[in-house]
Structure 1
Amino acid sequence: MQRVTNCIFLKENQILLLQKPRRGWWAIPGGKMEPTETVKESVIREYREETGLHINQPQLKGIYTFLIKRDNEIISEWMMFTFLTEEGEGIQREITEEGILKWHSVDDLSELPMAKGDRFIIEHAVQGKDVAFGTFVYTEDFQLLSYQLDETRKATDI
């Protein structure tokens, strides 16, 4: 199972998102973990690689499983660890090989093209107090089939 980390950088009610060229959808910057990394090391490295920014004190906000289905068969599965920070430094890139980076108001996120599950993930990360746990099931073309979120459990309940 692939492991992925990403981080929402919240600054003055805006978050930095990455517009991926393939679909034109906006996404939370991040990427694949290396085999020897901790999730925290991974999110700091991936965020810096994708944005040019070094994030400080990222706080875990969600752990999610993603399933991609073809008919009734699971063809892909990965786990994502989502963090939130309000602190970072460095020179932000505007365009990378991954796409275009741009700050967006949290209030305008419903207007942006993005994976439907990402809206739930961002909303919880920005407004929720505890770590969220969930599963998202998508088709191959990333149409959300179903999801389950458990925001009531705390990380200490694991």
Structure 2
Amino acid sequence: MSAAFNKNADLVAKERKLYAPCLDMNPETKAGRDCFVAVAPKLTDWQTTRAAALQLSRWISVHRDDAAARNSAIALMDRAWSSWYRDYQPEYAKLDALNETTRNFVLVRLALPNSTAPKFENLLYRLTEATEVGVLSPEAAQRQFDRYREHGSGFW
């Protein structure tokens, strides 16, 4: 799994340095918003684009009429999905295949007869969906987060 996340490690490190100054600012302030909107076009990897979109969603939750911030966040999410699918999906497909092979191994079947193999790709779909909900409907995102927290889901 580590190899999948480290596939673009150099790019991710470079892009994290780009938005690191923004993290020192409260994303709910105009300065924080401006910083993330300015750096948004320079981010391309799914890890950094998703992180920046999450920060912008905090601004959007208070300033719902800010079309520039919303469009920036949506563009970030589009690039996050594109990057993940292009660069990481093949690695996750390999992990899924390995997981399925392991699950079908007779000793594992005997030890865990009712187990199901988690799909790594499904996790990325859920993370992307959760971030987009945060951008497009902050109230719904807060309700989802509260439900997960209240019921002890392992998702968050």
Q: Which has the higher contact order (CA 8 A, sep 6+)?
A: 1
Bigger share in helix: 2
| TM-score bucket (shorter structure) | under 0.3
TM-score, with normalisation over the residues of structure 2?
0.28
Q: TM-score, normalised to structure 1's length?
A: 0.28
Rg larger in 1 or in 2?
2
More strand by share: 1
